A and B are shown apart, each in its own frame.
Chain A
Amino acid sequence: MADDPGRGEVAVVTGAASGLGAAIAGALTAAGWQVAGFDLRPSAATALGVEVDVTDAAAVESAVDRVERELGGVGALVTAAGVYEILPVEEIDDVRWQRMMAVNLSGTATTVAAVVPRMVARGRGGIVTVSSDLGVGGSQGDAHYAASKGAIVGLTRALATELEGTGVTVNTVAPGAADTPMLEETSPWRSADFLATLPVRRLVRPPEIAAAALFLLEAGTAVSGQVLSPNAGATI
């Protein structure tokens, strides 16, 4: 990373059209990054919104080409695109298993794969994946989601090991239950009973997650392979 990261540098944020991705895109923009938002829907309030399916590796590669053409070399990537679903294990049929893994894991791998060679060639770059507290400590009633997020933690930490010495850092933010549209109004994660179990007694706020991502992007090359958990104390 540069001594003064962010100032005019280009960041790609996936899932930037709403929720967590939008909050991260906003925080990066406020910190001086030029943000390109990747999403199925238009990403408002970004320097460049690209409508792209992150599970489509070729489309993602083209989207990154376009970002580098129009804005410049990608200095940061934050992968916030993801889906969530609560379902008992016997009801997670193959279609639901594959879909969850495709969006959360494959969608992360495609964007990371598209930027890594470019960052390595330039000798600098920061990648922050968004995993989940549920991928670290496990969950309840959403085995496919937890598995997909645990996989992201594994990918992140292994890639940090692999890219040691290249100037490229790879870290993950593992949020706890957060107040985003991904969490339905009737979600048990919003219930008073659950909130009472949290040391902080409330859901995590999207700007808190964005701040964690920004911290990791601006921390320099000394911090890599780390899991930062804005999780209201859910897993300690």
Chain B
Amino acid sequence: MADRTALVRCDDAAVADAVVRRLTADGLRVTLVPSTADPDGAVAEATGAPGALHALVCAVAQPPPAPFPGADPARWYADVMACLTPAFRLARAATPALRRSGAGRLVFLGSGWTAVDRPRSTAAGAVQGALVALTKTLARDLGPDAVTVNEVVADPDAPPSPEVVAAAVSYLCGDAAGSVAGQLLTLGRGGQLRP
């Protein structure tokens, strides 16, 4: 069997390092790219085009806190899209290779709905709300081709250790998680069930 490949996009060096080490230990051939990487190039680098991609781990950052009243809406929107669009582009670019895997795994790393409970976090709330809906929608879209899509949720105010994040990613990327689709796996206490 050819090596199973994984692509990791994560600018947090400690988390990236832990995830790469863990997935490598799981037997995956892992490529780590910065969030600024060209999406198609990153997928090709990971798979050797047009190969299959077993796992994409994609961290989605969020804009820093800033007051909404008085904000320039164009600036606000640009900040949101700067976090969102590159992640969407990478997920889109990886989709054909994930489908070819036969057991593809797309794992977003985000902060879920924890964003909306903090003050001055409208831009973060918009980014993370979009990511929740994107996760669930792509889970339905790609599920028929045995690709699961989930989000690992970490509250930035109470971040889990990188090893815990890596363990969650490893679990979701494993064969045993094939029926976990469209879920938010929150690492920490509490968290809201829905929405």
Contact = CB atoms under 8 A, between A and B. Distances in A.
Contacts of B130: 105, 147-148, 150-151, 154
A134 interface: yes
A101 interface: yes
Given A136-B195, A143-B141, A158-B118, A151 B92 contact: no
A117 B73 CA distance: 13
B157 interface: no
B73 A157 contact: no
B161 interface: no
B141 A147 contact: no
Interface in B92-112: 92, 95-96
Interface string B122-141: 10111111111111111111
A161 B118 CA distance: 7
Nearest to B116: A157
B91 A89 contact: yes
B193 to A, nearest CB: 12
Given A141-B141, A153-B195, A155-B126, A105 B80 contact: yes
A158 B133 CA distance: 16
Contact of B194 (A98, A137, A162): A137
For chain B, what secondary structure do more than half of its interface residues adopt (helix, strand, loop), or is it mixed? helix
With a 10 A CB-CB cut-off, give which of B68, B81, B91 has the most chain A CB atoms: B68
A214 B136 CA distance: 29
B136 A146 contact: yes
B77 A106 contact: yes
Contact of B140 (A109, A112, A139): A139
With a 10 A CB-CB cut-off, give which of B71, B74, B125 has the most chain A CB atoms: B125
A159 B85 CA distance: 22
B123 to A, nearest CB: 8
A29 B92 CA distance: 44
Contacts of B70: 117
B77 A105 contact: yes
A61 to B, nearest CB: 9
A116 interface: yes
Contact of B129 (A89, A113, A152, A225): A152
Contacts of A230: none
B190 interface: no
Interface of B: 67-74, 76-77, 80-81, 84-85, 88-89, 91-92, 95-96, 113, 115-122, 124-142, 182, 194-195
